[in-house]
Structure formats: C-alpha cells, structure tokens
C-alpha cells in the first residue's frame, strides 16, 4: 500500500428540498407514492413540453455555495447532457458543465495536525433521473416519479487521500446540507448519493494514474468499503505489471466488491450544448444577498462557540453541534437553566448524558421527544437537584420518568414522594437498622477504621433508594453511634 499514492475525488448528488420538481409543477414528494403518479409531459420529456426553472431550487443551490465558500456566478446556462438509459425519458439530462452556478469552495475537516480543507471544483444544478426496478420475474420496470426532481452535484477536487478521509468529507458535507435546510440528506431514500473517482500512482510520480469511477454508494460505510476494495484491487493490478483500465465500476454491497460496468465516458461523449428551451439564468446580487441573510450560523462556528462555554468540553461541544436540532435544543435548555440560576454546563451534562442515552435506547428522534421534555423541564430538574430537594440518583430516575411520560419533574417528585429524606425519625430509624445489621462494620469503625462508615452510609442510601442526602445519613449514623456509646 505504501508503494502507491491514492488520489480520490467525490461527486455527491443531493436532492434539493423543494415542493415541486426542477422544471415542472409535479410534486417532488414522491417517496411513498405509487409508481408513475407524479409525472407530466415536461418531466416525461414529451415533445412540445416546455420547462420552467424552479426558483427555490436555485436559491437553495446558491445557499449551498455560500455555506461552502463558493463563488456564485451571475450568468449561467442550463445544458443538455446527452446519454441514453431507460431511466432518462428524454434521452438527455438538463444539467450544467462549463459554467456552473457555484465555483470553488471547500469542505473543512479536522485532522490530528489541524483543520484541512478539501477543495471543491463546482456546485451545479441538474434534474434527477427515474428509477429502475428489477422484478423477480426477470423484467425491469421504470418509475418516473423521481425524474425531474431538483439535484445539486457537488464535485470535489482530487485532494482526498484515503477512504477514511472520503467518509469524513461525505459526513461533513451531509451535515452542512441538512443543517442549512437545503436537503433531507436521507440516503436510504436516495436523497443523497455519492460517486467516487479514484486513481493510484507510484510514489514520486507526478502524473495521476488511470481514473476509475465507482457508482452505487448510498452510505458512509459503503463509500469507505468500496474505496478500500478498489485500492487493493488496483494495487494488485499494478504490482502484477499490468495497467489499470479507465472505467466505471459498480459497488456490490452484498459481495463487498466492485464490478466493471462500462468504459468511462468523457465530457465529449455527453455532447453538452445549451438547452434551447431554457433561457440563460441570471442571478443578481440582491438574490445572493437574500440567500446569505437566510443562512444560519454554520456547524463549525456553533461548535466553537459551545466549546468556549465554561465547563463544556470540546467533545461535548462536538456532540451538541452534531445536528442543528440538537444544537437549538441545547441553546434553549442552557437559557432556561441560566434563568433559574443554573449554568449552561448543567444543560450540556443532562443532554449529552441521559437524554442521548434514552434517545438511543428508544430509537426516537429529538424533535418528537422534545414535545414531552421541553428545555424548561430539564431546567426544572436541575433546579430541584441544585436546591437539594432531590439527590442525583433520584434526578436520573425523575429525568427518565419525565422523558417517557411528559410529566413535569416537580410533579413527579411530589406524586411519587421522591424528595430527599433529611434528618428526622425516618433517617434515625434507618441508621439504627444499618448499625444493628452490620456489627462487623460497626466494630471496625469503633476500632479506628473510620472509612468503615462509608459502607454503613451505603446501606442506608440503599434502603432509601438514593433519596437521602449522604451528609445527612452520615450525621444520623454518627449520632446513633454516640447514643449507643453513652
């Protein structure tokens, strides 16, 4: 593996989150629809049907470019990319090539040596194709509901050096797209797909090796596995003294291999030319400014701001800023905690600990759970704990009950009698029972082994199910021991 340098470039196809398709009024919400029910003459490519550009799709693409540091081009055209597959009804795809909407930019990754930017070639708009469905009867069918759905193709520079880096790049890019609200990023439903170009060359050689494109990757794991397999395959070919063939290969997830599909096309094979049915696209500075104003604070900036909060670790900041919904929930909880005299750190502790544990256990998403457990509920729990009304053990129990039922923490504590058991007859009785039931520990304590009282404290805490204050328990034990010695 060390004999060859690996060069990887990714082409990520992201469906743009719009109500209608790219060039017609058909609904883009096709996922659960019956086949071929979201179609019209335009997205079916029938003669005489004229396309009209979806303004919201263009705005979302501009927002993407701005979030990625791209330069937005004011004048672009929509071209026809000609190729013939059954899932492309017109025989061409409306796309961009020479003059994309967004040029340049980057995706920044965190490496051990510091931030590293993977450059972008372009972000351009196009329309999606239909979907081929291969039946058990040996026949293939085409569902055109997806045909014409708005797409962005985000093309990286060939600057990715390993399968691991490719996976992290893809993950970071998805995070940004979902964060700014331009794509669902749902890979299971095909809203985000990735093709990879990979080449190997001997160490010290400046010229790139033959480029192989890998198709059909619809998960981060699949991308990493496919690239690793292809590195091993190409390495074996080169070591055998043969040449790697420039081609397109498909990833077979079940078998864990890539298979040759066709000779790799070049841009000349697609015979790009301006679509005569669509006028040139003009984007003025006002539109760009409006898109920029709508952009939220981006993930990296928010993570850095969270990490600057006293008591919030870099790891917790990373977790809290993993997606926008979680980040928003943390900010609202932190504000509620501060209003009740607690700190943002308290909010971070409960969200990264108990809340994420329960979400993982139940498989529920945060948006759904937050309807039962609003930020103010966590702040109320933190206040009860801080005032000494409940112990930390009890607080965890109350948190889970509030998460599952939606009841307010204070109501749960009152109705279930979970308030701290302080000094009094109940605690004195439990202390006497612990001393009577553990004569060995009592003898050790009286013999000078002062740490033996920790065992006795534990016995009382167990009897109170964590509802007693450890300090109050120790005081009760010491009082009972003095009474017995008197």
Considering the domain architecture, whether residues 77 and 198 belong to the same structural domain is answered as yes
Q: What is the CATH number of the domain that holds 458?
A: 1.10.10.410
87: exposed, middle or buried (C-beta count within 10 Å: 0-12, 13-18, 19+)?
Answer: middle
pLDDT at 474: 80
Considering the domain architecture, whether residues 264 and 325 belong to the same structural domain is answered as no
For residue 347, what is the enclosing H or E element? helix 344-350
- Considering its fold, how many domains does the chain have in total? 3
Considering the domain architecture, whether residues 268 and 399 belong to the same structural domain is answered as no
For residue 11, what is the enclosing H or E element? strand 4-15
What whole-number distance in Å separates Cα of residue 61 and Cα of residue 154?
Answer: 10
CB atoms inside a 10 Å sphere around CB 374: 18
Domain range spanning residue 353? 297-416
User: 414 or 142: which carries more pLDDT confidence?
Assistant: 142
pLDDT, tens digit, 9 for 90 and up, residues 101-122:
999 999 999 988 889 999 999 9
What whole-number distance in Å separates Cα of residue 402 and Cα of residue 418?
Answer: 13
From 416, 450, 473, give the residue that closes a domain.
Answer: 416
Considering the domain architecture, whether residues 274 and 314 belong to the same structural domain is answered as no
Q: What is the mean pLDDT of the chain?
A: 92
Helical H segments across 202-323, by residue range: 220-239, 267-270, 285-294, 299-307, 314-320
111: exposed, middle or buried (C-beta count within 10 Å: 0-12, 13-18, 19+)?
Answer: exposed
Q: Which tokens in the block code for residue 384?
A: 């009860």
Considering the domain architecture, whether residues 337 and 440 belong to the same structural domain is answered as no
Considering the domain architecture, whether residues 159 and 267 belong to the same structural domain is answered as yes
Torsion angles phi and psi, residue 119, rounded to 5: -70, 155
Which of these ranges, 129-133, 200-204, 289-293, 388-392, has the smallest mean pLDDT? 388-392
pLDDT band at 1 (very low <50, low <70, confident <90, very high): very low
Q: Could you tell me what percent of the chain has a pLDDT over 70? A: 97
Sequence-ordered strand ranges (E) for 16-47? none
Considering the domain architecture, whether residues 278 and 326 belong to the same structural domain is answered as no
Residue located via tokens 């998805």: 174
From 291, 323, 351, give the residue that closes a domain.
Answer: 291
Considering the domain architecture, whether residues 329 and 396 belong to the same structural domain is answered as yes
Considering the domain architecture, whether residues 187 and 268 belong to the same structural domain is answered as yes
What whole-number distance in Å separates Cα of residue 483 and Cα of residue 125?
Answer: 84
pLDDT at 83: 84
Considering the domain architecture, whether residues 119 and 179 belong to the same structural domain is answered as yes
Residue located via tokens 């080169």: 238
pLDDT, tens digit, 9 for 90 and up, residues 425-467:
667 788 888 888 898 888 888 888 878 888 988 888 888 777 7
Considering the domain architecture, whether residues 385 and 430 belong to the same structural domain is answered as no
From 275, 291, 307, give the residue that closes a domain.
Answer: 291
Considering the domain architecture, whether residues 301 and 287 belong to the same structural domain is answered as no
Q: What is the pTM of this model?
A: 0.86
Is the pLDDT confidence value at 36 over 90?
yes
Torsion angles phi and psi, residue 296, rounded to 5: -80, 170
């Amino acid at each position: 593996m060390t004999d060859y340098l690996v060069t990887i470039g990714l082409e990520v196809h992201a469906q743009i989150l719009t109500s209608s398709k790219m060039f017609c009024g058909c609904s883009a919400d096709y996922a659960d629809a019956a086949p071929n029910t979201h179609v019209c003459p335009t997205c079916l490519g029938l003669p005489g049907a004229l396309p009209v550009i979806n303004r919201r799709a263009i705005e979302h693409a501009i927002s993407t470019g701005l979030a990625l540091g791209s330069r937005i081009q004011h004048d672009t055209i929509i071209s026809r990319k000609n190729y013939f597959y059954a899932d492309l009804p017109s025989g061409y795809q409306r796309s961009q090539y020479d003059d994309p909407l967004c040029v340049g930019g980057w995706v920044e990754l965190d490496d051990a040596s510091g931030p590293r930017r993977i450059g972008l070639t372009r972000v351009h708009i196009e329309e999606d194709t239909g979907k081929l469905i291969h039946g058990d009867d040996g026949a293939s069918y085409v569902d055109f509901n997806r045909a014409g759905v708005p797409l962005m193709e985000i093309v990286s520079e060939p600057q990715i050096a390993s399968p691991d880096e490719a996976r992290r790049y893809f993950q970071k890019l998805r995070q940004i797209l979902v964060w700014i609200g331009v794509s669902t990023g749902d890979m299971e439903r095909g809203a985000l797909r990735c093709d990879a170009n990979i080449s190997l060359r001997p160490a010290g050689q400046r010229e790139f090796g033959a480029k192989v494109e890998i198709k059909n990757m619809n998960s981060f794991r699949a991308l990493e596995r496919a690239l690793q397999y292809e590195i091993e395959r190409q390495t074996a070919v080169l070591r055998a003294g043969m040449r790697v063939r420039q081609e397109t290969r498909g990833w077979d997830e079940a078998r864990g291999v890539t298979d040759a599909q066709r000779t790799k096309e070049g841009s000349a094979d697609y015979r790009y030319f301006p679509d005569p049915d669509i006028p040139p696209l003009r984007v003025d500075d006002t539109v760009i400014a409006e898109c920029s104003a709508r952009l939220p604070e981006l993930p990296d900036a928010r993570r850095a701001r969270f990490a600057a909060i006293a008591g919030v670790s870099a790891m917790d900041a990373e977790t809290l800023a993993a997606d926008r919904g979680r980040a928003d929930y943390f900010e609202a909880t932190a504000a509620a905690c501060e209003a009740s005299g607690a700190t943002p750190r308290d909010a971070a502790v409960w969200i990264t600990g108990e809340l994420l544990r329960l979400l993982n256990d139940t498989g529920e998403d945060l948006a759904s759970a937050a309807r039962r457990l609003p930020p103010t509920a966590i702040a109320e729990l933190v206040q009860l704990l801080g005032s000494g009304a409940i112990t930390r053990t009890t607080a965890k129990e109350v948190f889970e009950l509030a998460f599952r039922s939606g009841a307010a923490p204070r109501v749960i504590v009152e109705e279930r009698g979970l308030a701290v058991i302080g000094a009094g007859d109940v605690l004195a009785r439990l202390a006497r029972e612990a001393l009577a039931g553990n004569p060995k520990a009592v003898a050790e304590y009286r013999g000078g082994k002062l740490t033996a009282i920790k065992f006795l404290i534990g016995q009382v805490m167990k009897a109170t199910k964590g509802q007693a204050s450890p300090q109050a328990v120790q005081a009760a034990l010491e009082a009972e021991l003095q009474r017995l010695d008197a």
